[in-house]
Amino acid sequence: MRPLTPLGMATLGSGLIAITYGLARFVFGLFLPAIREEMVISPSMAGVIGALPFLSFVVAILAAPWSTRRAGVRATAVSAAGLAAVGLLTIAYAPVPLLLAVGVLTCGISTGLSSPVMAEAVHRVIPSALRGRVNATINAGTSLGIALAMPAVLVWADAWRSAYTGFAALAALGALAALLFLPRGNRLATASWSRSEAPQASRTQWLGVIRLSGLAGLMGCVSAAYWVFAPDAVITGGGLLPRQTAWMWLAVGLGGLTGAGAGDLISRFGPALSHAAGLMVMAAAIALLAVAPGHFPLALASAALFGAGYMTLTGFYLVRSTQIMVDAPSLGPVLPLLATSVGQVAGSPLAGGLIGKEGHGTTFLLFAGLGLAVALLSGWLREDREASPRLTQGQA
């Protein structure tokens, strides 16, 4: 089979990310009001369930580089999409909150596997000059998955089980596409680094990734309130209709497409300024929803801003980490994406608990303030400057 072109890899990769991130992970908040009503789930319990995909993501992303080396790019990608299908189908037919939680947990595993394996696939297939752009485009696939939820909610506003059944079918198609088009390879061919090569990463490179990961964890915490509770906020706190939240998620998806420019943003403005700008946009989005949850046009503006800020930041972490760990592309994103998920694991139940006590408005303002505080910490990234991203032989 002929190797994928950059456009082909970007298309296939963004489709898989749309399934594993957009549909299997982040769309849950959109259907949460209907799920809560049918299953009688409290805000605190919803926060705990909302944290589960982030928790399983932590475990899966740690295993993803090992899986990619041992099983290969194709098998790992097929597994990611297949697990998304299983998790989505479990959610669709869950009779009780416990099985709902199992389905959500399974979806998180699929998400954790997908980013490292796609970074490895890009490293193997795409010329180095185009990798940053292709990786950022693939990462923006999350927005496509979120946007797909919009017609699903319009058609199945209260029939969330039917929507999740349709999502599971799309995930199965994604697994088939990965099987047909991604490079096969054995464990040696797919490994861009081996156990003996990994320690060659320099101290400067590890410090750069650790700084990046610390900021990613804080950003994940900030974002959790919006992903899980934004639809609940505009329905419960603002009086909007469930169908209107579909348009919000479409705005999140369309706004998030700007994240495809994360690589170019880093090249033009540098890591520190790019990161601070993303955090400020996201904080503004959260604050806007806090002050006007019942104003539909402002809710749409908030959603678009949130999508732009969040997807730019996740694209930033992906691209920057692969620039730092260029010879270990399946390892590079692990720590930043892991940290993002850890932050979301902490942020989701925290937001749920605060909402139960203080309400949506106060909670969202507090999270927006935290976002601005994290933006001020972006100066940490100035220390990364133009240090060579490539690992060299003998580098200590």
Angle at alpha carbon of residue 292, lines to 289 and 297, rounded to 5°:
85
Fold of 200-385: Growth Hormone; Chain: A; (1.20.1250)
pTM over 0.85: no
Q: Are 147 and 15 in contact (CB under 8 A)?
A: no
**CB within 8 Å of 42: residues ≥ 6 apart:** 356
Residue 59: band (very low, low, confident or very high) from pLDDT cuts 50, 70, 90 = confident
Which CATH number is correct for 1-183, 1.10.510.10, 3.90.950.10, 3.20.20.140, 1.20.1250.20? 1.20.1250.20
In order, the DSSP letters of 184-222 are: ---HHHH-SS-TTTGGGS-HHHHHHHHHHHHHHHHHHHH
Hey, how many other C-beta atoms are within 10 angstroms of the C-beta on 391? 18
Calculate Rg over the CA atoms of the chain.
20
Q: Which of 158, 182, 166, 132 is nearest to 16 (CA)?
A: 182
Taking the domains of the chain in order of start, what are their residue ranges? 1-183, 200-385
- How do residues 226-249 score in pLDDT, each as one tens digit? 988 898 899 888 888 877 887 888
pLDDT tens per residue across span 161-190? 998 999 999 999 999 999 998 887 544 333
Question: CA 181 to CA 179: how far, in whole Å?
Answer: 6
Render pLDDT for 364-392 as a digit per residue (tens, 0 to 9).
Answer: 999 999 999 999 998 877 655 444 344 33
**Residue among 24, 19, 35 at smallest CA distance from 108:** 24
Fold equal for 1-183 and 200-385:
yes
